[in-house]
Amino acid sequence: MKLILTQEVAGLGDAGDIVEVKDGYGRNYLLPRGLAIGWTRGGEKQVTQIKRARKSREIRNLDHAKEVKAEIEALTVNVPAKAGDSGKLFGSVTNTDVMNAIKAAGGPLVEKRNVQISAPIKKTGSHTVAIDLHPDVVARVTIEVVPS
């Protein structure tokens, strides 16, 4: 089965890649989860759009990664979350929450899979989160979880 990946799949390829997989894997795993679409000639246009979007988000080289790191670490990031009187959150802060808070603070767009939260954030206050920008560059940003 020939498919076009819409997201990165470990061990298979990146978004926009055209891959050949076994029928069952494509039909039962990739297609239902939205990780791929069926290959067609019209799909080739979608491939170019996916690759263009990926290229605009990716870190170009080590120097660019260092620039983005400095930009992210200079930010003051506030993450609003629902919390009780004692400061305990109803739920926890997720990668998506951190990604959206960085973007709202005026920072660059980072992908949620690059946000590394070492332990679940379940209390208000200051927490440190790592963001993988490049294999050699990891930005550490301090987020302030505030009750909303």
Listing DSSP states for the chain in one string gives -EEEESS-BTTTB-TT-EEE--HHHIIIIITTTTSEEE--TTHHHHHHHHHHHHHHHS--SHHHHHHHHHHHHT--EEEEE-B-TTSEEEEEE-HHHHHHHHHHTT-----GGGEE-SS-EEESEEEEEEEEEETTEEEEEEEEEEE-
Query: What is the per-residue DSSP string for 82-97?
Result: -B-TTSEEEEEE-HHH
Q: What is the pLDDT confidence band of residue 140, given thresholds at 50, 70 and 90?
A: very high
Q: Could you tell me the CATH superfamily of domain 2-57? A: Ribosomal protein L9, N-terminal domain (3.40.5.10)
Question: What is the token pair recorded at 132?
Answer: 């993988």
How far apart are alpha carbons 3 and 39 in whole angstroms? 5
Contact 3, 38 (CB under 8 A): yes
| Phi, psi torsion values for 49, nearest 5 degrees | -65, -40
How far apart are alpha carbons 80 and 67 in whole angstroms? 27
pLDDT one-digit tens code per residue, 75-118: 889 999 999 999 999 999 999 999 999 999 988 888 888 899 98
Higher confidence at residue 64 or residue 70? 70
- Map out the domains of the chain as residue ranges: 2-57, 62-147
- Which pLDDT value is given to residue 63? 78
**Residue 40 CB neighbours (<10 A):** 11
- Which pLDDT value is given to residue 59? 63
The CATH number of the structural domain formed by 62-147 is 3.10.430.100
pLDDT one-digit tens code per residue, 11-66: 998 878 889 999 999 999 999 999 998 888 888 777 777 777 766 666 667 777 88
